[in-house]
A and B are shown apart, each in its own frame.
Chain A
Amino acid sequence: MAPPPEKTPGDNDAPGVPGFHTWRGVYLFVFGCFLLVVFALTLFAHFYA
């Protein structure tokens, strides 16, 4: 039997992570970290390769 659809919080519900009030904030943080990692790898390649 298919389970009943659960009550789904909206995208703007608090993610419950200290310092973040919305999921959009979490996504932006992750995206920022990604840019930082790519920048760091580019520097690493430039410095060592």
Chain B
Amino acid sequence: MSVLDWFVLLGTMIGIAAYGTWRTRHTDNLNTYLKGNHSTKWGTIGLSVMATQASTITYLSLPGQAYENGIAFIQNYFGLPLALILVCAVFLPIYRKLGVYTAYEYLGQRFDQKTRLLGAGLFLLQRGLQAGITIYAPAIILSTAFGWRLDLTIIFTGLLAIIYTVTGGSAAVNLTQKWQMAVIFGGMITAFVILLTKLPPDATRIAGVMGKLQAVDYTPDLKLRYTFWSGLLGGFFLSLSYFGTDQSQVQRYIGGAALREGRLGLMFNALFKIPMQFFIVMLGALLFVFYQFQPDTPLVFNQAAWQRQVQGPAGAEFRALDEQHSVLHAAKQEKIRAWSAAQAGHDVAAEAAARTELAGAQRASDALRKAARDKLYAAAPEAKKTRDSDYVFITFILTQLPPGVIGLLVAVMFASALSSKAGELNALGTTSTIDLWRAFRPLAAHDEARNIRNAKWFTAFWGLFAIGFALFVSFAENLIEALNIVASIFYPALLGVFIVAFFLKKVGGTAVFWAAIATQVVVLAIFFADKFSPALAIGYLWLNPIGCAACVGFSLLFQTSLPEHKANADK
């Protein structure tokens, strides 16, 4: 990166963090510290909700995923607008009416202390681990691409988020997220426009014929990962869990000047989330077209790891793969041009023949790419910690963008890491203070200064825990994927508890508590079922509706089967 890039990167990152710290340095009101400024408007809430959800993975990895597998991932967001409507209509008014700081505080009021602790415990467990991943995932990609030290990248990102989150709490998080989103939008749109200037006129048609634009798939198959049905139903329950019961999101919209501001902030997300994600996946699909016409398209995008092998003792074998790739790549370019010419000439038979030839060339290219990655992973197992597709967009940024814009795009990656991490730390500190510390020290609830002091300590603790965890997971292989799956396993039971709380007024605390435990067992059993019989495998999104339905069913069952005084003991 040039001096100008460093200036843009550090200027935006440190500037926004310093601004947030300075503006909120006198926050001494518990309500403001935990819920944000009372005058916050819907625009800030909407951007804050969006910033918390979209981490660096969204901007860095999603284009790479679309480059590899097309834009079908967009279907995962189909349930989101419907879930947000339900959160607006049911969840948010109740949270505000009761004046709770956390979603789990509501469970305590509706059920009992043990259900509240169960909800808070599930949240702290999964979100605490996720907070480590939030900084680890981008740090390993950026440090590999730029040759930076991984540990220093993690520590810098983590400490920057800790400083302003501890100082100003929710008010600082909302304020900084607004400016970070401005950097993110500015950077991503700039990159997209520059990419458009480098594409052939029929780029979209080429992406389509090469299988990258299958946006919607109505096939009713539970085993397919991305379909309209899994996205609509599974995505609905996943989004409902995340936006309705995950404190990192609840905290973003629970404050604000009025109920209206929170609702409009959520509706802003319901309207613009799918178009925003479409823009990101289209960026990936168009990057795919761009790299079809580049003479120096790499066989493996993680060039730092690849070049080490090329220059190593087995370099001849890796260079041979590179040469093979050059031949295949040139042949594929010819086939794309042949298809374009046939298509422009409206020659149906020639177009069909060229399409078949092109598909064959793509299969050969994919097979070589897979062989190259397997060889790289065998020679350098540490390269398996990230997917090669994660390096597609960053390679484009580093090789195709002008000085200054590179710094802006790297700032996008750091801004997204900081914004989602700050939201998580803020929620972890709040839940620890309100649902754990205050639950065991009820007399301390009246000492506002002590509450803020503790919230700050808890926020700092979780920040340091996340940094420590991120430094530790760098030694573990494929842990990111495993932890993402673990997190998705816990959501269904938690959502089930909230659905019972909102809609089944007759169910008491003991019944729902044991229903949540039973649901967790069922979800785990379904998740691991494919280990015993591959025929039982289902896409992980389906765990959400199944788990939620199981929790509701178990709650009703336990409520009717438990002795009445026990089932309603804590209602």
Chain B 206-237 per-residue mask, 1 if CB under 8 angstroms from chain A, else 0: 01100101111000000000001000000000
What are the residues of chain A within 8 A of B96 when measuring CB–CB?
6, 8
Supposing A15-B264, A30-B85, A37-B274 touch, asked if A8 and B204 sit within 8 A by C-beta, the answer is: no
Are B259's CB and A31's CB within 8 A? no
Contact of A23 among B89, B99, B101, B214 (CB under 8 A): B89
Give bound CA distance, A13 to B88, whole Å: 13
Give bound CA distance, A38 to B227, whole Å: 12
Q: Which residue of A lies closest to B101 (CB)?
A: A2
Q: Which residue of B lies closest to A39 (CB)?
A: B216
A15 to chain B, nearest CB (A): 6
Binds A, one of B46-54, B74-82, B351-359, B479-487: B74-82
Are B99's CB and A34's CB within 8 A? no
Q: Inter-chain contact count A-B, CB under 8 Å?
A: 86
B66 to chain A, nearest CB (A): 13
Contact of B215 among A4, A11, A27, A45 (CB under 8 A): A45
Give bound CA distance, A1 to B442, whole Å: 10
Are B274's CB and A42's CB within 8 A? no
A10 to chain B, nearest CB (A): 8
- The secondary-structure label for the interface of chain B is helix
Chain A 8-26 per-residue mask, 1 if CB under 8 angstroms from chain B, else 0: 1101010111000001001
What are the residues of chain A within 8 A of B228 when measuring CB–CB?
38
Give bound CA distance, A11 to B96, whole Å: 13
Give bound CA distance, A27 to B271, whole Å: 10
Contact of B259 among A4, A9, A37, A49 (CB under 8 A): A9
B97 within 8 A of A: yes
Number of residues in A with C-beta < 8 Å to the partner? 29
Are A2's CB and B445's CB within 8 A? yes
Supposing A27-B89, A30-B270, A48-B207 touch, asked if A4 and B216 sit within 8 A by C-beta, the answer is: no
A42 to chain B, nearest CB (A): 5
Q: Which residue of B lies closest to A1 (CB)?
A: B446
Are B267's CB and A11's CB within 8 A? no
Are B213's CB and A48's CB within 8 A? yes
Are B270's CB and A34's CB within 8 A? yes
What are the residues of chain A within 8 A of B292 when measuring CB–CB?
none
Are B97's CB and A5's CB within 8 A? yes
What are the residues of chain A within 8 A of B267 when measuring CB–CB?
26, 30
B374 within 8 A of A: no
Q: Which residue of B lies closest to A8 (CB)?
A: B97
What are the residues of chain B within 8 A of A13 when measuring CB–CB?
260
B304 within 8 A of A: no
A23 to chain B, nearest CB (A): 7
Give bound CA distance, A12 to B258, whole Å: 15
B275 within 8 A of A: yes
Contact of A49 among B85, B97, B208, B448 (CB under 8 A): B208
Give bound CA distance, A13 to B445, whole Å: 34
Give bound CA distance, A13 to B74, whole Å: 34
Are B81's CB and A30's CB within 8 A? yes
Interface centre among B78, B82, B216, B270 (most CB of A within 10 A): B216
Are B89's CB and A30's CB within 8 A? no
What are the residues of chain B within 8 A of A38 when measuring CB–CB?
78, 216, 228
Are A49's CB and B99's CB within 8 A? no
Are B211's CB and A49's CB within 8 A? yes
Give bound CA distance, A37 to B215, whole Å: 11
Are B215's CB and A44's CB within 8 A? yes
B333 within 8 A of A: no
Q: Which residue of A lies closest to B447 (CB)?
A: A1
Give bound CA distance, A8 to B262, whole Å: 12
Chain B 39-82 per-residue mask, 1 if CB under 8 angstroms from chain A, else 0: 00000000000000000000000000000000000100010011
Give bound CA distance, A2 to B211, whole Å: 55
What are the residues of chain B within 8 A of A34 when measuring CB–CB?
78, 81-82, 270, 274
B553 within 8 A of A: no
Q: Which residue of A lies closest to B204 (CB)?
A: A48
Supposing A8-B96, A41-B216, A42-B215 touch, asked if A23 and B263 sit within 8 A by C-beta, the answer is: yes
B404 within 8 A of A: no
B93 within 8 A of A: yes
B30 within 8 A of A: yes
B278 within 8 A of A: yes
B98 within 8 A of A: yes
Give bound CA distance, A22 to B335, whole Å: 56
B114 within 8 A of A: no
Are B89's CB and A11's CB within 8 A? yes
Contact of B260 among A1, A3, A15, A44 (CB under 8 A): A15
B566 within 8 A of A: no
Q: Which residue of B lies closest to A26 (CB)?
A: B267
What are the residues of chain A within 8 A of B448 when measuring CB–CB?
1
Are B99's CB and A9's CB within 8 A? no
Q: Which residue of A lies closest to B214 (CB)?
A: A49
Are B101's CB and A9's CB within 8 A? no
Chain B 148-178 per-residue mask, 1 if CB under 8 angstroms from chain A, else 0: 0000000000000000000000000000000
Contact of B74 among A17, A30, A41, A48 (CB under 8 A): A41
Supposing A30-B271, A34-B274, A41-B215 touch, asked if A1 and B259 sit within 8 A by C-beta, the answer is: no
Besides A3-B99, A8-B259, A38-B216, 4 new A-B residue pairs in contact (Cβ under 8 A), listed by A number: A1-B445, A6-B96, A27-B88, A34-B82
Interface residues of B (CB under 8 A from A): 30-31, 74, 78, 81-82, 84-85, 88-89, 93, 96-101, 204-205, 207-208, 211, 213-216, 228, 258-260, 263-264, 267, 270-271, 274-275, 278, 445-446, 448, 451
14 A-B pairs within 8 Å (CB atoms) are namely: A1-B30, A1-B448, A2-B99, A6-B99, A8-B93, A8-B96, A9-B260, A15-B264, A30-B84, A30-B271, A45-B215, A48-B213, A49-B213, A49-B215
